[in-house]
Structure 1
């Protein structure tokens, strides 16, 4: 499927420039969810078909980020998945993170302070230089939520490796428009409801096997079992040997919508989406007299921006006191031009 075929599968109201808050579903995702809800309402089927959507989604996600399916865990939210990592680091460990990091990849580490874990923060641009021999974990977003700043992941990862620290990357604001090689990091966590166009309530964690062996599966239930259908009752503990041991039992309907959404993104290809999104973002930047950038998220300081856009029927966001506009595969050049006209009038 190419971009021209995929774009008509979306029906946004004109002026949606807020994918960084939530993405819009393609028709296959919307229709699958409506069908499942109708089945649920009338009790027509058992739940196993809905549960199978988790496996489809996992496979599509693994394809998107270049890893084996066996390295992908399924959960509900970024903080829930990061929490398992944070609870498993040694007492007294030191975590380094950007000061402006979205709190889903910050609060779980801070919550471990009662056992001597130290969280040190610096500006995102200084992260690599701040890694030292005392650093055990470097936790950062591949793309910052508030500003759209794209991390120099190679530089940060090289510094972490040299120090013997693990890297825990939140790719929620990247995966779906920016090519992501999850194998480059020790752990990658992604919420799917933004650039991956899925219902809220599905998320993924990619871990290297050597790191995974150190993670306590503290939220394990029947779905994390070696055979989930043979894990309903009683001891002993019998978890999956691969990343499924860290799975959370799926919220069925979130995954019913997630599977076809991820399959569409994988079929279109992130490279094509990346080119489209950046062209729109740069059109917006140019209209405001700004140079080209490297992100599908644009943060600008324009007086009265929120009111101006609202009056023109444009939906964007304000983060950290600045306008945040975000551009994805269903965004049109008309959406961009209307936003520019509203901001420059």
Structure 2
């Protein structure tokens, strides 16, 4: 599919610059969800077809981040996917994270404080240089929610490997527009409702096989069974032998919308999406007299920016005291011009 005609797949109203809060569904995802809801309302079908969307989504996500589908678990939120990793940390383990890290990748480690686990935070750009032999786990966002800064993934991984520290990456603000190699990390988690444009309630986690052996799937359920449809009743425990052992039973309608949304991302190609998004973000920065960046998320500190954008019908977010604008497939030059004109007063 050509990116030039991709806009026809969305019904975005002018001025939506807030994908970092939630993405807008492409029409195939919206239509699939409406059809499933209609079937649910009338009791016209069984649930198994809705469940199959989960497996297709797992496979699509695995291709997007370059890992085997057998190493991908599915769930609902980032923090839920990180919970078994945090619980497996040894007592008095030391965790290192950026000081402005989104709390879904901080609270799971902080709640382990009762076991002596400690969390140290440092400026994001200094993360790699603070990794030493005392650090057991490094947790960071590949793209920071607050300001859109992109982490030096390979540098952080290299420093962590040199000191045998685990690497846990929240790629929620990256996958869908930034090419990502999940296999560099030990754990990589993604909430799919932002740049993957899925309904809220679907999330993915890559779990390195060697690490999985140290984790307990405490939320074990029928969907995590070796054979799902023969795992409804009774013992013995018979979980899947791969990352599926950590699956949550899927919220069907979230996954019905996730599958076609990921299909659109695959068809357009992450590299093309990246170039489109960053070009728009840099045009926005240039209009404000600022140098170009390498992110689809930018922040602006213009007096009265929030009010000016709101009056013009531009929907952005405020994070850490600054207006945050984010550009995705359905964003266009007209959205940039609308925002620049508003900020010019």
TM-score, with length taken from structure 2: 0.99
Partner of 1:187: 187
CA deviation vs aligned residue, 1:38-62 (integer Å, no higher than 9, x gap): 0000111110000000001011101
Structure 2 partner of 1:286: 286
What is residue 117 of structure 1 aligned with on the other side?
117
Question: What does 1:309-320 correspond to in 2, within 5 Å?
Answer: 309-320=309-320
Aligned residue runs from structure 1 range 1-345, under 5 A: 1-345=1-345
**Residue by residue, what CA displacement relative to the aligned partner does 1:259-295 show, whole Å, maximum 9, x if unpaired?**
0000110111000000000010000000000001000
For the residues of structure 1 that align with 2:330 and 2:49, how far apart are their CA atoms?
29
Distance 2:126 2:220 in 1: 37
Give the number of aligned pairs.
Answer: 345
Structure 2 gaps, min length 5: none
Q: Which runs of 4+ in 1 moved over 3 A?
A: none
RMSD of aligned Cα (Å) = 0.7
Q: Give per-residue Cα distances to partners, 1:182-216, cap 9 Å, x unaligned.
A: 01111100000000000000000001100111111
Q: Match of 2:140, SS?
A: strand
Q: Distance in 2 between matches of 1:293 and 1:206?
A: 28
Task: Indicate the SS of the match to 2:132.
Answer: coil
C-alpha offsets along residues 140-163 of structure 1, whole Å, 9 cap, x if unaligned? 000000000000111111110001
Please list the CA deviations of residues 75-114 of structure 1 after superposition, one character each: whole Å capped at 9, or x if unmatched.
Answer: 0000110112111111111111111000000000001111
Q: Secondary structure at the match of 1:223?
A: helix
Please, which runs of 5 or more residues in structure 1 have no aligned partner?
Answer: none
Instruction: For 2:121 and 2:339, locate their aligned partners in 1 and report how far apart those are by CA, in whole Å.
Output: 35
Deviations 1:227-248 (A, max 9, x none): 1111111111111001101100
Distance in 1 of aligned mates of 2:190 and 2:36 = 24
Equivalent position SS for 1:96: strand
For 1:228 and 1:134, the matched residues in 2 are separated by 42
Query: Partners of 1:216 and 1:140 in 2: how far apart?
Result: 23
